[in-house]
Amino acid sequence: MRRVLVALVTVGLGTALLAGVACGGGGGDEEADIEAAIRSAVEAYNSGNGDDFLARITDNFLAPFTKDEFREAVAAGEFAPGEPPLELSNITDVEVSGDSATAVTDIQEGRALTTQRLTLVRQADAWLLDGEEVLRVPAPEGATEVDMGLVEFAFNLAELTFPAGDVAFQAHNDGQQEHELGIVKLPEGVTLQEALEAEDLEAVGAEEVAFFEPIEPGAEASWIVEDLEPGRYGYACFIPDADDPEGTPHAFKGMVGEFTVE
4: confidence class by pLDDT, cuts 50, 70, 90: very low
**Statement: residue 179 has pLDDT above 50:** yes
Encode pLDDT of 87-141 as tens digits.
Answer: 998 899 999 999 999 999 999 999 999 999 999 999 988 898 998 899 999 999 9
Distance between CA 56 and CA 165 in Å, rounded? 36
Q: Kindly give, in sequence order, each residue whose CB lies less than 8 Å from that of residue 77, ignoring residues fewer than 6 positions away.
A: none
Three-state secondary structure readout of 111-166 = CEEEEEEEEEEEECCEEEEEEEEECCCCCCCCCEEEEEEEECCEEEECCCEECCEE
Whole-number average pLDDT of the chain = 87
62 versus 171: the higher-pLDDT residue is 171
Share of the chain above pLDDT 70, in %: 89
Q: What is the DSSP letter of 23?
A: B
**Widest CA span of the chain, in angstroms?**
63
Distances in whole angstroms, Cα of residue 41 to Cα of each of 105, 173, 255: 13, 30, 34
The ranges assigned to domains in the chain are 6-134, 144-261
Ranking 11-20, 70-79, 138-147 by mean pLDDT, the lowest is 11-20
Instruction: Check residue 10 and give its pLDDT.
Output: 39
Q: For the structural domain made of 6-134, what CATH number should be given?
A: 3.10.450.50
- The pLDDT tens digits for 202-248 are 889 999 999 998 999 999 999 999 999 999 999 999 999 999 999 99
What mean pLDDT is predicted for residues 41-55?
89
Instruction: Identify whether 84 is preceded by a cis peptide bond (ω within 30 of 0).
Output: yes
Q: Is residue 65 scored above 50 in pLDDT?
A: yes
- Rounded to whole angstroms, the Cα distance separating 217 from 237 reads 14
- Reported residue count of the chain is 262
- Which string of DSSP letters, residue by residue, matches 199-259? S-GGGGT-EEEEEEEEE-TT-EEEEEEEEEPSEEEEEE--PBPTT-TT--BGGGGT-EEEE
Compute how many other C-beta atoms are within 10 angstroms of the C-beta atom of residue 142. Answer: 7
Q: Which CATH architecture has domain 144-261?
A: Sandwich (2.60)
CB-based contact 153:252 (threshold 8 Å): no
- Please report, to the nearest 10 degrees, the dihedral formed by the alpha carbons of residues 244, 247, 252, 257 taken in order: 100
pLDDT value at position 139? 95
Q: pLDDT at position 233, please? A: 97
CA angle 54, 121, 238 (to 5 degrees): 55
Q: Are 84 and 197 in contact (CB under 8 A)?
A: no
pLDDT at 55 over 90: yes
- DSSP class per residue in 92-113: EEEEEETTEEEEEEEEEETTEE
